[in-house]
Amino acid sequence: MATAPTRNSAPHNEQRVFVYLPLIAGWLVPGMGHFLLRKWIRGALLAISVIGMFALGLAMKGKIYGGAQDILDMLGMAGDLGNGLLFLAARTFGWGAEHVQVTTADYGTKFIVVAGLLNVIAAVDAHNLRTGRKPL
């Protein structure tokens, strides 16, 4: 009785370690997950969209959430954290308004939050491309 040849699992485990690289890189730097997968146009469009929305939000004097006092602030901060290193830079250099003082600042805050949510969706998309759940 013949047995099926066994595969060496070491290359599979090595490959498995880097499955999360596009996810983490795509979260930290907008579009980087797609750039790692050589999806240049998609990565560039996502990077331009996320960075552009973030910059427009800052230009409208949008608020960068720092501390969470109530549930809405927690949700806003979760959206802001999706911006990855952009959020870290904004907190470090003091970008964004402390308090919303003009009407456009509320729109700017929403732009910043939505940019973070779009960045998370893009990072998960890069991960799905890498794992094969979505065809390249």
- What is the predicted pLDDT for the residue at 9? 41
Contacts of 54 (CB under 8 A, 6+ apart): 83, 86, 111, 112, 115, 116
The pTM for the full model equals 0.85
Contacts of 29 (CB under 8 A, 6+ apart): 47, 84, 85
Structure tokens at 108: 């700017």
pLDDT digits (tens, 9 = 90+) for 19-38: 999 999 999 999 999 999 99
- Residue 134 pLDDT more than 70? yes
**At 49, which amino acid appears?**
S
Contacts of 125 (CB under 8 A, 6+ apart): 26, 33, 34, 134
- Residue 4 pLDDT more than 80? no
